[in-house]
Chains A and B, each alone.
Chain A
Amino acid sequence: MAYSEKVLDHYENPRNVGTLDKDDPHVGTGMVGAPACGDVMKLQIKVSDDGVIQDAKFKTYGCGSAIASSSLVTEWLKGKTLDQASEIKNSAIAEELSLPPVKIHCSVLAEDAIKSAIADLKSKQGK
């Protein structure tokens, strides 16, 4: 199966790979996995006191589409408020990367990772 140019670009030059301090109270960590393919994805966001995402990092072990999906969302997340971030839909990710139907689950994984990171942050901050 051929990857789209955008997927290849993110796969070859992934943005924002790395780790933030998960014990930092301003950092939310989302960890998700897809049983069907064994992919694991970690997404972290660092949020300012006024609720704006300042930094986002990811680490994904999986196929090109999973890596591209998580790389793309780290770019999208920066500068967004938590409310805006939680509105990111997998369909937008799939569309931007021209994912074929069999790879849609990779974009779902990325959306779930955002939700999971936000939930972690909120539970940490007791909100």
Chain B
Amino acid sequence: MTQNFFTLLNLPEAFVVDLKKLDQHYQAIQKEIHPDRFASLNDEAKMESVKKTAQVNDAYQTLKSSVRRAEYLLHLYGFDINEEKYSAVPQDFLLQQMEWREELEVNSKNKEALEKLASEVSIKKNEKIDLLPTFFHEKNNLPDAIKLTRELNFIEKIEQHIDDALIEVS
């Protein structure tokens, strides 16, 4: 069974995470369970260590990213953000996505325009991330947390495309 990522990294189960502690706990556990430490042991113990390492890495990557962490917390609360009807994403938000995608398409070779778009997207992303702690606090407003996390998934996707385009032009 997969252990709860928060428990695994010895952190309270909440959206707001002390990133410094996250790093410290991750490094400490990593040292403890590193496969090299089990080199002299039997195959079963080694296998166990490899599995544990993978799980801890997964937990760390998930909790480090605000968006992944939000998605994971919602999953723990019993919500799969991808399950609901697709059309549940607000129209004006999708319109914005479409505009960004078009802009990216037109300017895919233009470094300056790409950087401008990247910073616009990043500002919008951070605005949304900043709203998450209140929504998650004492499960205050989970419907809005779901809505926002969904939108952030779209935003991360376009961010990735912009990054790819920027790598191409530089």
A positions within 8 Å CB-CB of B = 31-38, 40, 42, 59, 61, 105, 108-109, 112, 115-116
Residue pair B150, A35 in contact (C-beta under 8 Å): yes
A residues in contact with B87, CB < 8 Å = 32, 112, 115-116
A residues in contact with B98, CB < 8 Å = 31, 40, 42, 59, 61
Known A-B contacts A38-B153, A38-B158, A40-B101; the reply to A31 vs B85 at CB < 8 A is no
Q: Dominant SS at the A interface?
A: mixed
Residue pair B94, A108 in contact (C-beta under 8 Å): no
B positions within 8 Å CB-CB of A = 81-82, 85-87, 89, 91, 94-95, 97-98, 101, 150-151, 153-154, 156-158
Known A-B contacts A31-B91, A31-B98, A32-B94; the reply to A38 vs B86 at CB < 8 A is no
Q: Dominant SS at the B interface?
A: helix
Q: Chain A's nearest CB lies how many Å from the CB of B94? A: 4
Using CB atoms, name the residue of chain A closest to B94. A31
Residue pair B94, A36 in contact (C-beta under 8 Å): no
A residues in contact with B156, CB < 8 Å = 38
Task: Among A33, A112, A115, find the residue whose CB has the most chain B CB atoms closer than 10 A.
Answer: A33
Q: Chain A's nearest CB lies how many Å from the CB of B92? A: 9
Known A-B contacts A32-B86, A33-B89; the reply to A38 vs B94 at CB < 8 A is no
A residues in contact with B82, CB < 8 Å = 34-36
A residues in contact with B89, CB < 8 Å = 32-33, 35
A residues in contact with B86, CB < 8 Å = 32-35, 105, 108-109, 112
B residues in contact with A31, CB < 8 Å = 91, 94-95, 98
Residue pair A61, B101 in contact (C-beta under 8 Å): yes
